[in-house]
Structure 1
Amino acid sequence: MRKLLIPIIITVFTLTLTITSCKKKSENNAAANQENENTPENTVFDSTQIGTFFEKYSKLEKYKPEVESLYRKHQFHYVWFDKNGINEFGNLFYNKINNLPQEGVQTIIPYKEKLDKIYDDADNNQKPNIDVELLNSALYFFYANKVFHGLDAQKTKEIGWYLPRKKQSYVSYLDSLLIDPSLINKNEKGVLRQYYLLKDVLQKYRQIEKKGGWKPITIDSETKSLKPGDSAAAIAQIRQRLFITGDITSDSKSAVYDAALATGILEYKKRNGNTLNKTILPEHIKSMNVTVAERIKTIMVNMERCRWISNDITKSKELIVINIPAYELTFLRDGKAVLKSKVVVGKAMNKTVVFSAPMKYIVFRPYWNVPASILKKEILPAIEKNPNYLAEHYMEWKDDYVRQKPGPENSLGLVKFLFPNSNAIYLHDTPAKSLFSEEDRAFSHGCIRVAKPKELAAMIMKDDKNWNPAKIETAMNSGEEYWYTLKNKIPVYIGYFTAWVDTDGVLHFYDDVYDRDETLARLLFDK
C-alpha cells in the first residue's frame, strides 16, 4: 500500500505544479495583452476630435483632408506615440522641421512655439495627447508640402510651367517613415536628384555669406575690357572674388592679369554661360557683382523647380532635355549625356514654352509652313514693299498660306524633329549658323534651333537598322521633303533652370532670359 501511495503523491504534486504554472502563465499573458491593448498604437480616439483640433489650429486647416485620410487609414489610432512616448520618427521630424532653411525653404512654421514646448519638455510628452498627435501630423503635411511638393500645380501653370507634375502620396510616405525613420535622411522622396545637388551648394553659399560674401568690384568707366597682361586695381578685386567661389585655388592679391587669373576667368565663364575667352568685359564684372544673397535666392528658386519634377524621368532609356536659360540641348541615354548642342530659343516676345512631349517624327528637307501670325505681321507687309519677296526667299503660295521650299535656305534648315504639341514647338536646323556663337541666344519665334542637327538625327536613329550617318547626310542634302516615323518615341523635356549643378558637381548660373525668377521668388518667400 505504501509503495502505491508514493507514485500517487508524486503525480498529484506534479499536476498541482503544472496547473499553478499554467495559471500564472495565463495571468502573465493576460497582463501582457492588457498592456499591449493600452499602448498608444492600439488606442483609438474619437474622429470628431480632428475637427475640433483644426478649429483651434486654423492656420493648418489646409492639411485637414490629408490628416483625415491618414487616420482613416489607421482607423483613428495614434501614430506618433509608442509605449515610451513620442516615437523615434517624431523626434527626427522635429529636427527636420527646425532645419527647413537647409531645404531651401524660407517660411514661417505655424505654431512653432507650441511645437518647441512639446519637444523641450521631455516629462510631458510621454503620454498620448490628441493635440500633440494631430499637431505633429498637420505639421508633417506642412513640411511635405514645402519640401517635397512645392507650389500647387495651378500656380506653376500660371507662371508658364507645363511640364507634368509628379504625383506622390504623402500619407503612404509617412507610413514608410514610421517603419524606417532613417528614410527621411535619404534621397528617396521622388525628388529630382538635381535638388540634392543644389541643396549641397546652397550650404556652401550660405557659408560664404556668413563670412561676409564678396565685395563689389569697381572698374573705371572708361575701361572697355581687361586682358592678360593688363594691370589694374580691379584685377586684384576680381582675383579675390574668384577665389571666394573656388574658380581659382589661391589669391596672390596681384593686380596683374596673369595666367592663374586667366584660368579662373575661363572657369567662371564656363559656369555662367559666357563665351570662353580670356577677355573680361563690363558685363562680366556686373555678373560677378551679383551679391551672394541674390545667388542664394537663385539657388532656392531652382530647388523649388526641382520639386515639381519626378526623378522618374531619369529612368527613361533615352531622353532629350533643353534648358532654356542655358541655351543647351542634352541627349541622355541610360542616364548619361551622349550629345550636347547649343540651341537658339524664343525671344522674350515669343517665349519657348516649358512643357514635354514624345518625339515621333524626323522630317528631312522640310517645307516651312509660315504661321499665320508671321504671315500677317512680316510676310504680307514685305510683299507690299517688294512684289518679288516670295521668289527671293524661296517661298510660294500653297492654297491660302505661304510656305518656304526645301533646301539650304529654308528657315528650318535641312531637318526638323517633331514632338506634336498644342504649342506648335519643335526642334530644327537653321541656315543662320552665326547665332550659335552669341552668348544670348533668344532669337526665334518660339521653336528651338539646334546647332548639331545632323549629329542629333544620328544619335536618335543610332539603333535603327534603316539608317546610318551616310544615309542621313543624303536625306538632308538631296530629294524632296521626307517624313520618317521613329520606331521608339523619345521624351523631350523643355525646362527652365537658372542654376544647375553638373555631373562634376560644378554650379552653373544662367541669365534669367524670361525674367521668371523674381516672379517665382515672390510666390515662395513669406513676408
Structure 2
Amino acid sequence: MYRLNILGILIWFLYACNNGESQTTAVATQRDTTIVAANSYSDIFLDSSLLSTFLAQRNPTDSIGSLMRNFYNSRNFQAAWFNERGKLTNQALSFWNLHEQHFKLTGDSAIYSQSLHARMDRLVEEDTTLLPDRNLLEQTDLELTEHFFHFARYAYAGKLDPGKLQWYIPRKQVDAVRLLDSLLVHQGANLDDWEPVNPMYGKVRRELKRYYDLQRKGSEDSILPGRNKVFQLGDTGLAVAQLNRKLFLLGDCHDSSKVDFYTANTVAAVKRAQQRFGLTANGVADMRLIKELNVSYRKRIEQLLVNMERMRWVPREAKGDHIIVNIPEFRLHAYNDTGKVFDMRIVVGKSGTSTVVFNDELKYVVFSPYWNVPASIVRNEIMPAMRRNPGYLARKNMEQTGTSGGLPVIRQKPGGSNSLGLVKFLFPNSYNIYFHDTPSKSLFSQDKRAFSHGCIRLAEPVKMAQWLLRDQPHWTAEKINEAMHQSKEKWVTVKQPVPVFISYFTAWVDREGLLHFRDDIYGHDKEMAEQMFARK
C-alpha cells in the first residue's frame, strides 16, 4: 500500500492556520450537486444524515461542526479519505503520517483517540483489495475529518479556512488543461496566499508553464530514428536534426537552428538530458533517451500536475542534518545546515515488495549486523530451499533461533556474505525499512535499481557511517572499519537523531535548476492520475 508523505514532518495545509485563538464562524457552504460518481475523486458517497447523526453524538464545538458541514457540502458528501476500492487515499496517508510524527516528537496526546488510532493502524498496514465494511468506512471517514480539523487547530494554534482546505483534499476529477489553466491564471494577486510556498513547488510550476506553452504550439517535434538505434558524435541526417531540435525545445541546448550534425554541442546537450532522465550521461543518444524525449507534452504535463499534487503536502525545506531518499530517482541525498553534503546511489524495493514512503529519524548504526530474515522471505524462499537442500542454512551462514507462528525464526550471521553487508542504519518504524550495505555491488552500476525486498541498499555505507558518527571523535575511519569486520553485532547510537524522508517524486527541479523526470516504478502516478483527471 502506498503511504504518501513527502520530504517533511509538517503537512502543507497548515499554511492556512494562523496564530490567533479565535475566528468568526465560517459562512455556510451550499451543497455542490455537480459532483457525481462520473467526475468524483472517490466513488464512495455518504448519506448526509450520517453527518447529522455523527455531530449529534459527538457534540463537537460549533466551529468544528460548521467546518465539517461545509466540508462535506462542498464535496456533495463524497468520501474524503477513501478511494473507490476502499483504500486510504494518498492525502489520508500523508495526514496520518504527519499526525504520528507529531505525537512522536512532542509526546502530545491531547487529541489521541484510541479507537481511531487502532483502526487507522490496521487500515494503513493492510494491503487488501476487499472493500472494508461500509459502515466502518463511513464512520472512519467522518472521524478522520473531525480529527483533521482538531489536529490542525490544536497542534498549530490556528483554524483552517474551509474554502482553502479543498485545495488539499480534492473533490472531483477535472480535465488536465482546466487544472493547468487554474494554476497559471489565478485571480488572486498573492499566489502565496493560495499556493504552497515550498521552493520546489514554485520551480515545478514554472516548468509546467513552459510545457504548456510547448503544447499550445501544436507540434510534438518527435524524433523518428528509423533503423538507427544509436546516435553519436559525427552522425548526420534527419533524425539528428530532430534530436537537436527537441533538445533545444526542452532547454538542453541553446542553439535553435535545425542542424543535422551530431556536434560537440549535441554531445553536451545529450549528457544534460540523460542526467535529467536518470540515464548514464555518456553523450550517446540511444533508444532509451529518444523514448524519454518523445513522451508527449500532454503526458509530461500530467506527470508534473501529479507531482505538484504531492507537493501540496510538502512544507518548506528542512533545516539541519537530514536525509532525503527519492525512490524513483534511486538516490539518497544527505544535507546539513549549509546544504547538500553528498549524494549516493541506492537500490530500492522491487515491484511487489516496494519501499514504503514515510519519514522517521535515524538513531542507530549497527556494525557487523545479523540479518533477521522476515517471515515472508522465510515462508516463500528459505523454507522451499531448505526442503530442496537440508544444508541450505549452513551454506548461507544462517541459523534457526526458534519458531514463531509455525515458521522457523531464521537469522544470517555477520560476515561478508550477509545480505545486509557489513553495516546497517536503523530508523525504527513499523514497516521494518532501513538502510544497509550489500554484498551485491554490481547492481549499483545499473540505471534502474529496484531489486530489494523493501529495504534500501547503500552504494557507499562507509561514507554514511563516517558522516553520522563524525561528532563522536573516537569513531575514526580505522575504528569503523574494524567494527564492520567483527563476528558480533555492534550497536552505536547516533548522538543527534537524523530525520529521514523517504519520498516518491517522478518529476522535480533540482537545486541547479534542472527539471528531472523518472519512471513511475510502482504505479503511484498512474493511480493518482486516474483519480485526478477526467478523460474525454
Give the structure-1-normalised TM-score. Answer: 0.68
Pair 1:467 & 2:401 matched = no
Where does the alignment leave 5 or more consecutive residues of structure 2 unmatched?
A: 1-23, 36-45, 103-151, 165-186, 404-408
Counterpart of 1:381, as a letter, is P
CA distance 1:170–1:260, shift in 2 (3 Å): farther
- Residue 135 of structure 1 corresponds to which residue in structure 2? none
- SS of the residue corresponding to residue 474 of structure 1 reads helix
CA distance 1:425–1:161, shift in 2 (3 Å): farther
- Residue 277 of structure 1 corresponds to which residue in structure 2? 282
CA distance 1:383–1:412, shift in 2 (3 Å): same
Counterpart selection for 2:376 from 358, 366, 373: 373
Pair 1:341 & 2:344 matched = yes
- SS of the residue corresponding to residue 342 of structure 1 reads strand
Q: Deviations over 1:117-155 (max 9, x none)?
A: xxxxxxxxxxxxxxxxxxxxx89x979xxxxx9999942
Cα distance in 2 between the residues matched to 1:439 and 1:381: 32
- Residue 144 of structure 2 corresponds to which residue in structure 1? none
How far is 1:239 from its partner? 0.8
Equivalent runs, 1:11-410 vs 2, <5 Å: 54=30, 69=63, 154-156=88-90, 163-164=97-98, 167=152, 169=158, 171=160, 184-186=190-192, 191-220=197-226, 222-311=227-316, 314-334=317-337, 336-400=339-403, 401-410=409-418
- Residue 523 of structure 1 corresponds to which residue in structure 2? 531
How far is 1:252 from its partner? 3.9
- SS of the residue corresponding to residue 164 of structure 1 reads helix
- Residue 509 of structure 2 corresponds to which residue in structure 1? 501
Answer with 204-213 or 510-519: which moved more: 204-213
- SS of the residue corresponding to residue 386 of structure 2 reads helix
Residue identity over aligned pairs, in percent, reads 37
Counterpart of 1:54, as a letter, is Q
Answer with 267-276 or 377-386: which moved more: 377-386
Answer with 223-232 or 489-498: which moved more: 223-232
Q: Deviations over 1:299-345 (max 9, x none)?
A: 1111110112232xx34422111000000101111261112101100
Q: Deviations over 1:240-298 (max 9, x none)?
A: 11000110110442333221111111000000111121222222211111011111111
Equivalent runs, 1:417-456 vs 2, <5 Å: 417-456=425-464
- Residue 86 of structure 1 corresponds to which residue in structure 2? none
Q: Do the aligned partners of 2:510 and 2:516 also contact (CA within 8 Å) in 1?
A: yes
- SS of the residue corresponding to residue 203 of structure 1 reads helix
Where does the alignment leave 5 or more consecutive residues of structure 1 unmatched?
A: 1-45, 74-137, 144-148, 176-180
- Residue 120 of structure 2 corresponds to which residue in structure 1? none
How far is 1:460 from its partner? 1.3
Cα distance in 2 between the residues matched to 1:325 and 1:160: 18
Answer with 492-501 or 164-173: which moved more: 164-173
How far is 1:159 from its partner? 7.9
CA distance 1:256–1:329, shift in 2 (3 Å): same
Counterpart of 1:290, as a letter, is V
- SS of the residue corresponding to residue 54 of structure 1 reads coil
- SS of the residue corresponding to residue 231 of structure 2 reads coil
Counterpart of 1:209, as a letter, is Q
How far is 1:157 from its partner? 6.1
Q: Deviations over 1:476-527 (max 9, x none)?
A: 1345210112221111111100001111211111111111112101222356
Cα distance in 1 between the residues matched to 2:231 and 2:95: 40
CA distance 1:72–1:324, shift in 2 (3 Å): closer
Higher relative contact order (CA 8 A, sep 6+): 2
Radius of gyration: which is bigger? 1
Q: Do the aligned partners of 1:325 and 1:512 also contact (CA within 8 Å) in 2?
A: yes
Aligned residues: 402
Counterpart of 2:90, as a letter, is T
Cα distance in 2 between the residues matched to 1:172 and 1:521: 26
Q: Do the aligned partners of 1:164 and 1:355 also contact (CA within 8 Å) in 2?
A: no
How much is the aligned-residue C-alpha RMSD, in angstroms? Answer: 3.8
Q: Do the aligned partners of 1:214 and 1:244 also contact (CA within 8 Å) in 2?
A: no
CA distance 1:386–1:507, shift in 2 (3 Å): same
- Residue 13 of structure 1 corresponds to which residue in structure 2? none
CA distance 1:380–1:355, shift in 2 (3 Å): same
How far is 1:391 from its partner? 2.5
How far is 1:227 from its partner? 2.5
CA distance 1:200–1:189, shift in 2 (3 Å): closer
Counterpart of 2:399, as a letter, is E
- SS of the residue corresponding to residue 356 of structure 2 reads coil
CA distance 1:198–1:354, shift in 2 (3 Å): same
CA distance 1:450–1:142, shift in 2 (3 Å): farther
CA distance 1:247–1:387, shift in 2 (3 Å): same
Counterpart of 2:483, as a letter, is A
- SS of the residue corresponding to residue 218 of structure 2 reads coil
Cα distance in 1 between the residues matched to 2:81 and 2:211: 22
Counterpart of 1:518, as a letter, is K
- SS of the residue corresponding to residue 267 of structure 1 reads helix
How far is 1:215 from its partner? 1.8
CA distance 1:227–1:190, shift in 2 (3 Å): closer
- SS of the residue corresponding to residue 490 of structure 1 reads strand
Counterpart selection for 1:486 from 494, 507, 529: 494
How far is 1:388 from its partner? 2.9
CA distance 1:183–1:498, shift in 2 (3 Å): same
- SS of the residue corresponding to residue 484 of structure 2 reads helix
- SS of the residue corresponding to residue 239 of structure 1 reads helix
Q: Do the aligned partners of 1:315 and 1:334 also contact (CA within 8 Å) in 2?
A: no
Cα distance in 2 between the residues matched to 1:292 and 1:497: 18
- SS of the residue corresponding to residue 365 of structure 2 reads strand
CA distance 1:160–1:274, shift in 2 (3 Å): farther
Pair 1:511 & 2:519 matched = yes
